[in-house]
Amino acid sequence: MQTRFDAIIIGGGPAGSSAAILLATAGWSVCVIEKQVFPRRKVCGECLAATNLPLLEALGIGADFLSQAGPELHRLALTRGARTVETDLPPAVGSPYLWGRALGREVLDTLLLQRARSAGAVVLQPWAVQKINRVGGFHDCTVREAVSDRLMVLQAPVAILAHGSWEPLPQERAIQRRARSGSDLLAFKANFQGASLAARLLSVLMFNGGYGGIVLADHGIVTLACCIRADRLEVLRQAEPGRSAGEVVEAMLKRECQGVADALQGAQRLGPWLASGPMAPGIRFQPDEKVFRIGNAAGEAHPIIGEGMSMALQSAWLLCAGLIRARQRHGSGAGTAWQRGVREQYVAEWRRHFAPRLRLAATFAQLAMRPTTSAALMALVRWRPTLLTRAATWSGKVHFAADTAMLAALASSASGGVGLSRAHLRQDFELLPGEVP
């Protein structure tokens, strides 16, 4: 089996698969290492801003996404208690697609990873990274096959970290093993069928100790997701002993957000609640590191602004555009000097495009989780609802961080995607690793 590549990508989610497609299409030999078996559900709001749709088209899954995603999202709502304020979402700028849509991660991730395979990437799944070391001009990556415990060492001059927030590399796990705090944010998600939610509405929820969102996705399925402080969840669980964390969260959302109670009246939950955390929003670039980071491995915003998948896809685009240009200039050698230049430019571009989103999301999240500030925020948007439209614009939903010339060139050569649907993939999954018990 091939063990030497131009690039090794650790993680096969939207960021990792997108990077694999982009590099493989440009002629690179690529290996993607993904520890989970697809399709799999994932804690995620599942909304994708319209600015990403040209990229999905260029990646070769645009038609599949459009044929299966939920309805276009034209309206934005902010809900607190019994009150809801609605306004227009801003259309995307400079894109043939004006409005975002939602699609289940079990479908989107599978489409992207299968497209990476068809583009020529080698996909090891389910395999897990045991360690990664820099040896000379190459990264030595030791991986283990989940079903057999077989070990293998892969080599590549370029290593890209694209793993999720709750799936760190072995050398990063010690950093995450910190004492739990009451302020930790735990994430929850469930899907419902038979809910009554406006088709074109993206609703943001504010409640004491947390925030969330609810949206109509593909095949008439409503996705409800939220983040809640660990200390608030503990109080809720003590009041309802014997119930799971997800059930307690669902009951709280119905009590404290009238819009959720109305939408879910008579609805049926599909499978168990998913839970994971604690979240760690922030920027994760390390000084003098020799690897590249994309997606949540690079940085994570509070999901209250719904830009997680946008940042994953667009960060992969930013990095791969730089890598492809650098290789055209310097060749495929294993030297590190050209990578240093690419890394410095990429990190600078990443910060320019995404750091403002992290700051806005952190501010909005803190306002939403506190009773006094969320009440003041609600009063403000009731007085001027267009402030919500402006906030959506500031969050990055109308502009795409991309080289449009390269996008057009890739789109012209992209082949069709793989047809899948959530209906074919739907089943009752167990809770994710790192779940809240």
Q: Is 271 exposed, middle or buried (0-12, 13-18, 19+ CB in 10 A)?
A: middle
Average pLDDT of the chain, as a whole number: 87
Mean pLDDT within 215-232: 95
- The pTM for the full model equals 0.90
Helices (H) and strands (E) in the chain, counts: 14, 19
Q: Which residue from 98, 104, 102, 86 is spatially nearest to 51, judged by alpha carbons?
A: 98
HSE-up of residue 259 (Cα within 13 Å, Cβ side): 24
Whether pLDDT at 25 is above 70: yes
Give 149-169 pLDDT, tens digit per residue. Answer: 899 999 999 999 999 775 656
Q: Is the peptide bond before 126 cis (omega within 30 degrees of 0)?
A: yes
Give the C-alpha separation, 361 to 275, whole Å.
21
Residue range 408-414: mean pLDDT, rounded: 53
pLDDT bin (cut points 50, 70, 90) of residue 427 is very low
Listed range (203-217, 377-391, 412-426) with the worst mean pLDDT: 412-426
